[in-house]
């Protein structure tokens, strides 16, 4: 809220002493300037593209992995589940150097594709672990009936399992979208060109070592929050349904 109030002030009001917690003459000039005279709209588009594609790729890999882990019994299943859980304890910052080396070998540094692949690779274990709990809640009799009818694993997954866990998929997608939208460290390392910056990097680039227009930074920061807030409001009922479904088993 403090940053939001700051975005409604002019430069003199931002540095006024004593501080003005409520602007005397609020103005939307900083928002108009950020949207028309800076690259903030382009940063937003980059974030939408990267977050949406990374989420789609993460779900594409996480859904079948979660289904297999939930319904199939095979050697090494227990250690694999433990490994997935252990991976979640590692901060992506710890993996910055090896990830950069790998992306560099693939010649994908300073590309959105490299960032998308990195995001998906890091988030797939979390996605598979969360979705597994939703698949566990589906009655096994439904899958047994599908097998007796001759349905393949792929058809069982697409026609029966996925529709039944749709609220869980929505909740997981929202979690992933929020994580990708706000991620800063990996994007800072893997992206060099300002034209490819996502919104966290774009807002950061508005700061200067000598003089920073903090009211403009505040306006750009709030603009960057609006898409995620809108997505959460629009998908709120699916999110709540997903959390409720994940709490009930059997």
| Separation between Cα atoms, residue 126 and residue 130, nearest integer Å | 6
Q: What's the rounded mean pLDDT across residues 131-140?
A: 86
Give residue limits of the domains in the chain. Answer: 39-209+238-246
Residue 64 · residue 153 · CB < 8 Å: no
| Separation between Cα atoms, residue 246 and residue 130, nearest integer Å | 9
Give per-residue pLDDT as tens, 100-111. 999 999 999 999
Peptide bond into 215 cis (omega under 30): no
Give per-residue pLDDT as tens, 26-44. 778 888 888 998 899 999 9
Residue 137 · residue 245 · CB < 8 Å: yes
**Token pair in block for residue 126:** 């979390």
Question: 8-17, 78-87, 113-122, 178-187: lowest mean pLDDT where?
Answer: 8-17
- For residue 204, what pLDDT band results from cuts at 50, 70 and 90? very high
pTM: 0.84
Give per-residue pLDDT as tens, 154-174. 888 888 888 888 888 888 998
CB 195: neighbour CB atoms within 10 A? 10
Q: Which residue has the higher pLDDT, 176 or 79?
A: 176
Greatest mean pLDDT among 69-73, 110-114, 130-134, 236-240? 110-114
**Token pair in block for residue 19:** 């501080």
Give the CATH number of domain 39-209+238-246; options: 1.10.3720.10, 3.50.30.30, 2.60.120.860, 2.60.120.590.
Answer: 1.10.3720.10
């Amino acid at each position: 809220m403090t940053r939001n109030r700051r975005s409604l002030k002019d430069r003199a009001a931002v540095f006024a002493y004593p501080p003005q917690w409520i602007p005397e003459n609020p103005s939307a000039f900083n928002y108009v300037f950020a949207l028309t005279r800076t690259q903030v709209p382009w940063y937003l588009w980059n974030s939408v593209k990267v977050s949406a594609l990374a989420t789609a790729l993460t779900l594409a890999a996480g859904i079948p992995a979660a289904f297999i882990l939930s319904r199939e019994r095979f050697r090494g299943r227990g250690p694999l589940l433990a490994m997935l859980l252990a991976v979640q304890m590692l901060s992506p910052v710890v993996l910055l150097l090896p990830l950069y080396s790998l992306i560099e070998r693939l010649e994908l540094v300073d590309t959105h594709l490299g960032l998308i692949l990195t995001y998906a690779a890091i988030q797939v274990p979390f996605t598979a672990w969360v979705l597994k709990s939703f698949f566990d809640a589906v009655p096994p009799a439904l899958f047994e009936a599908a097998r007796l009818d001759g349905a393949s694993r792929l058809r069982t997954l697409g026609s029966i399992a996925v529709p039944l866990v749709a609220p869980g998929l929505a909740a997981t997608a929202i979690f992933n979208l929020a994580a990708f939208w706000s991620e800063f460290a990996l994007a800072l390392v893997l992206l060099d060109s300002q034209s490819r910056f996502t919104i966290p990097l774009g807002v950061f680039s508005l700061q200067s070592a000598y003089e920073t227009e903090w009211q403009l930074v505040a306006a750009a920061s709030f603009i960057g929050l609006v898409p995620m807030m809108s997505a959460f409001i629009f998908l709120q009922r699916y999110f709540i349904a997903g959390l409720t479904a994940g709490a009930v088993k059997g």
